Structure 1
Amino acid sequence: MPLCMGIAIASGMPPAAGLITGIIGGLVVGFLAGSPLQVSGPAAGLAVLVFELVREHGAAALGPVILVAGAIQLIAGLCRAGVWFRMTSPAVVAGMLSGIGILIVASQAHVLMDAAPKARGLENFAALPAVLWQAISAGTGRTALFVGLATIGIILAWEKLRPQRLRFLPGALIAVVAVTATAQLQGLDVNRVDVPSNLFSAISIPSFSDIFGVFNHTLLVSAVTFAFIASAETLLSAAAVDRMHQGARTQYDRELAAQGVGNMLCGFLGALPMTGVIVRSAANVQAGAATRASTILHGSWLLVFAMLLPWLLRMTPVACLAGILVYTGVKMIKIGQVKELATYGRGTAAIYLATTFAIVATDLLTGVLIGFGLSLFRLALHSSRLKVEVREHADKKDEMHLTLQGSATFLKVPAMARTLESVPPNTALHLDVAKLHHVDHACIELLRDWSRNAASRGCELVVDWKELDRRVEGKRTVESAPLVESRKAA
């Protein structure tokens, strides 16, 4: 419940919007889910996207965008496309989560002092010293800062010291209860959460004009972005949950379709978007959950508290929820992953860092696209990796051997051309393609051109052209070698 309300505030939406999403995630998605022990609800990973969308287009645009995003997820699940959402570079996903964590910390540090966050991550960092100085010197926000820091301290202490028999109680809940009780007893002057007496009054069904208004370029891109990031986070979380227990395994397509239904319902009711959340899911498993009933009960308890005890929720200091989100954001920033990712190559670690800093410096979508672009560029470099080795024949001075190992693509044309140009006149060049996995049109044409022109220098290219043609991507007619008769390289 604290996370639901805190994420809603971080998203620029009323706390009730987060509660509605949590209820739907438990009752509806919990019943339909392909990952029975995964708990769905509003996620910190989408808070940044929601905040940007609401700031630029207003809260009225959020519902239709989430509705379309949910439809995309539902269609993808029915088309069995769940596995495709898992085909994402771990470095990009890790960088995305770290970047989101940094943005959450930067924005909620302002809320921690009862100040309004800025629009961009760098703006939040730039304005933070002034807000902090004002809280310390002028006293504006000092009490809220104390409340937020106390919340973080209690969470850290509980995570370190909690008894084994109480491991199912999250530190955030303990912190909220303790800090809220203290704030009430002491009569602290801090901003409180605004929750309506009737939760149903917070429902905001989009109008037809709002729904049809989503079909413009900007909002459609937002819907696709929501669908992709929510799906990737959900399915990666489901895979992590599977590693925590020995029960039923995740049916990824069913989980994706269930998330789609849930997000369509959230969009229709004007609530926040949802994903499968690893923090809630891990707590669910650690508490001994064995069936989907625990997830459904999660939503049921949220509904009971929101309907029967709204007055209790209104006692919660906003700074307390901000403290929870600052803690959550810091947990998402895993700089230690750089060392782990570097074991798969420095390029992998570089993609992680580039994605993280690009998200902080620009926005979430741009940062993720930069990460994907770098991943594709690195993939292209790896797929075109070619080892070119030239050696002279031990006994015959007029004979050389050229070995190609790997993939010969257009990116390697300059290197191959330099090698061929270095062949002395009156030399028979034997080409060994036994270790050549792939050759593209550009490289094979380079070899044919050199073979045609070599005669003027007294050279010839000796290669099994049929064997070489079999390594060309795609279907093509096998051509006979020009100028010289094909024969195996000696």
Structure 2
Amino acid sequence: MRGEGILSRSGTVWTTCPKRRRTCVLPQCRRPEERVVIRGYVSQGLFGRDLLGSIVVFLVALPLCMGIAIASGMPPAAGLITGIVGGVVVGAIAGSPLQVSGPAAGLAVLVFELVREYGVAALGPVVLLAGLIQVLAGLGRVGVWFRMVSPAVVAGMLSGIGILIVASQLHVLMDAIPKARGLENFAALPGATMDAISGEGGSMAALAVGVVTMAIMLGWDKLRPQSLRFVPGALLAVVVVTATVQWFGVGVKKVDVPSNLFAAVSLPTWDSLAALSQPSLLVAALTFALIASAETLLSAAAVDRMHNGARTQYDRELTAQGVGNVLCGMLGALPMTGVIVRSAANVQAGSATRMATILHGGWLLVFAMLLPWLMRMTPIACLAGILVYTGIKMVNIRQINSLAAYGRGTALIYLVTTLAIVATDLLTGVLIGFAMSLLRLAVQSSRLQVDLGKHDEPGTVLLQLDGSATFLKVPALARTLERVPPNTRLMLEVDRLNHVDQACLELLADWGRNAPTRGCELVVDWNALHRRVEGLRKAA
């Protein structure tokens, strides 16, 4: 049966036919009022949109895959392999059809530290184990729990990562070697700049290449014509800068990509797998899994807000990410996450199904296999410029105001997480931010209003408790009890008390025992009070 459909402004395809007057068929279409035949041209229209979307995402992903690999201390081919796996494999089984997976700048710092300390051989087994953890978590249906992380912590994590990327890539921008830590990179930056000027340890030509790259990206973002909005600034910068460097023969370091992509595959050995028995590598694998999962699922939630199509199946998405990381670990590639930059480009390009993600991985594979000589013309400083620009955009200071709308404590968590990551490392900073979130939650949940007022009966005072009486409120409650005058009958009202813990309960009991020595008396319904130990406000 054939029927005509209307692609409405709301993004829903409605069909009309003799038996069904109005039936929703496809939930992901966006073009207004375009009539198509459901069994004829709809699939072709969607494929055309996916084809265009895949090309846009490919153009965004290509320079980022290589640049993130270099920032991670790995060869560019490792980033390309991760991008291919993220597109072709994960894209086919993902729980978020429009999310694009690949190497993420958020894990570059962790990979760099791991490779520096344990060598390249340790990366594959760690990523493989991280993937297995993600698969088990997805099959165990705990995907939604990874969204428990406070948005302020995630925003602080991204800002901290952005600062660390800028700190390291400013050295690469001058063809110099970055340090291991963020503060070390900032401290060594003046010396590296002087070396570049003198030509001893860097290159002013490379610095010029990086600056021009960032200038092109900034200018394109500000002045890009609406008709060319699908052309990414990173691609334009790479093409213009690479062509200029080749034309004038500028002496800067260039990307090293093997002629055969499969030559970059590094399968794990038994010795490298056995090294996972080291507690430090086990912690690294767990860290990779936690951060990659949180970033992926938060990115998927953001993607869901960008379109009206199918919603993310979080457990399936987590399992798919785990499968992808297992494959990347077996191939010796970079770890992957769902990446918001590429995913946003995918949605904005009008992609409708997961086919766009799969095709973008195919384009990466074809380009890397057939045109490696073209990628070898790309200056490393150009890719470093792209990452510096990306890192600066990740440090979004303006979001402090939006976070402060939920309380100054939320903005403080963001700032502390960011600074802790820069001063220590990614895992420590995230844990500090998470601890601050729990502390703020404890403080907020323990709010207690203590009122000492008059009672109708002479010589009687009314003590009203409103909120949660926890150990954090023991000092305030104790000071209030000290203000009760001698020879007073104190009546405790607990109708508005949500919860009382052991510390406050013992304080009240202790005051009641000692009250007769001052001529006082505590009147309280102890049964009603004890029912609030677990927050149960049941009637007596």
Which TM class, normalised by the smaller chain length? over 0.9
Contact 1:437 1:471 in 2 (8 A): yes
* Residues 1:194 and 2:246 are matched in the alignment: no
* Residues 1:57 and 2:115 are matched in the alignment: no
Which aligned runs of 4 or more in structure 1 are off by greater than 6 angstroms?
none
Contact 1:167 1:286 in 2 (8 A): no
Shift of 1:312: 0.6
The aligned counterpart of 2:295 is 233
Task: Decide which of 323, 333, 336 is 1:271's aligned counterpart.
Answer: 333
Residues 193-249 of structure 1 deviation map (CA, whole Å, 9 limit, x = unaligned): 000000001000111121121122111111111111101111111111111111111
Task: Decide which of 370, 376, 388 is 2:432's aligned counterpart.
Answer: 370
Task: Decide which of 515, 518, 522 is 1:457's aligned counterpart.
Answer: 518
**Aligned equivalents of 1:78 and 1:474: distance in 2?**
34
Residues 258-307 of structure 1 deviation map (CA, whole Å, 9 limit, x = unaligned): 00000011011100000000110111111110000000001000000000
The aligned counterpart of 1:124 is 185
Task: Decide which of 114, 118, 142 is 2:204's aligned counterpart.
Answer: 142
* Residues 1:434 and 2:495 are matched in the alignment: yes
TM-score, normalisation: structure 2: 0.86
* Residues 1:45 and 2:106 are matched in the alignment: yes
- SS of structure 2 residue aligned to 1:118: coil
Shift of 1:397: 4.4
- SS of structure 2 residue aligned to 1:35: coil
The aligned counterpart of 1:482 is none
Contact 1:91 1:352 in 2 (8 A): yes
The aligned counterpart of 2:165 is 104
* Residues 1:12 and 2:73 are matched in the alignment: yes
**Count of aligned residue pairs for this structure pair:** 477
Alignment of structure 1 residues 29-428 onto 2, 5 Å: 29-138=90-199, 140-393=202-455, 396-428=457-489
- SS of structure 2 residue aligned to 1:400: strand
- SS of structure 1 residue aligned to 2:498: strand
Across the aligned residues of Structure 1 and Structure 2, the Cα RMSD in angstroms comes to 1.6
Residues 170-203 of structure 1 deviation map (CA, whole Å, 9 limit, x = unaligned): 1111111111111111111000000000000100
The aligned counterpart of 2:509 is 448
**Aligned equivalents of 1:290 and 1:471: distance in 2?**
52
| Range with greater deviation from structure 2 (397-406 or 156-165) | 156-165
The aligned counterpart of 1:26 is 87
Residues 85-144 of structure 1 deviation map (CA, whole Å, 9 limit, x = unaligned): 001011111111100000000100010010000111111111111222332354841110
| Range with greater deviation from structure 2 (283-292 or 338-347) | 338-347
**Aligned equivalents of 2:167 and 2:513: distance in 1?**
64
**Aligned equivalents of 1:256 and 1:168: distance in 2?**
29
**Aligned equivalents of 1:163 and 1:242: distance in 2?**
27
**Aligned equivalents of 1:101 and 1:77: distance in 2?**
28
Residues 308-332 of structure 1 deviation map (CA, whole Å, 9 limit, x = unaligned): 0001110000000000000110010
Question: What residue identity is the alignment partner of 1:239?
Answer: A
Contact 2:77 2:258 in 1 (8 A): yes
| Range with greater deviation from structure 2 (454-463 or 53-62) | 454-463
Identity of aligned pairs, percent?
74
- SS of structure 1 residue aligned to 2:277: coil
Contact 2:212 2:241 in 1 (8 A): yes
Contact 2:127 2:328 in 1 (8 A): yes
The aligned counterpart of 2:31 is none
Contact 1:110 1:128 in 2 (8 A): yes
**Aligned equivalents of 1:215 and 1:32: distance in 2?**
31
Question: What residue identity is the alignment partner of 1:49?
Answer: L
| Range with greater deviation from structure 2 (344-353 or 33-42) | 344-353
- SS of structure 2 residue aligned to 1:31: helix
Shift of 1:48: 0.5
**Aligned equivalents of 2:199 and 2:88: distance in 1?**
47
Shift of 1:396: 4.2
Contact 1:16 1:195 in 2 (8 A): yes
- SS of structure 2 residue aligned to 1:388: strand
**Aligned equivalents of 1:138 and 1:451: distance in 2?**
80
Shift of 1:387: 1.2
**Aligned equivalents of 1:265 and 1:164: distance in 2?**
39
**Aligned equivalents of 2:136 and 2:209: distance in 1?**
45
Contact 1:436 1:471 in 2 (8 A): yes
Contact 2:87 2:102 in 1 (8 A): yes
TM-score, normalisation: structure 1: 0.95
Contact 2:174 2:204 in 1 (8 A): yes
Question: What residue identity is the alignment partner of 2:302?
Answer: A
| Range with greater deviation from structure 2 (460-469 or 123-132) | 460-469
Question: What residue identity is the alignment partner of 2:362?
Answer: S
- SS of structure 1 residue aligned to 2:450: strand
Residues 386-408 of structure 1 deviation map (CA, whole Å, 9 limit, x = unaligned): 11111123x54411011111111
**Aligned equivalents of 1:222 and 1:474: distance in 2?**
39
Shift of 1:339: 1.6
Gaps of 5+ in 1: 479-486
Contact 2:71 2:169 in 1 (8 A): yes
Contact 1:85 1:235 in 2 (8 A): yes
- SS of structure 2 residue aligned to 1:429: strand
**Aligned equivalents of 2:109 and 2:135: distance in 1?**
23
Contact 1:400 1:430 in 2 (8 A): yes
| Range with greater deviation from structure 2 (337-346 or 170-179) | 337-346
- SS of structure 2 residue aligned to 1:403: strand
**Aligned equivalents of 2:164 and 2:338: distance in 1?**
20
Contact 1:96 1:368 in 2 (8 A): yes
Question: What residue identity is the alignment partner of 1:89?
Answer: S
Contact 1:23 1:303 in 2 (8 A): yes
Question: What residue identity is the alignment partner of 1:453?
Answer: N
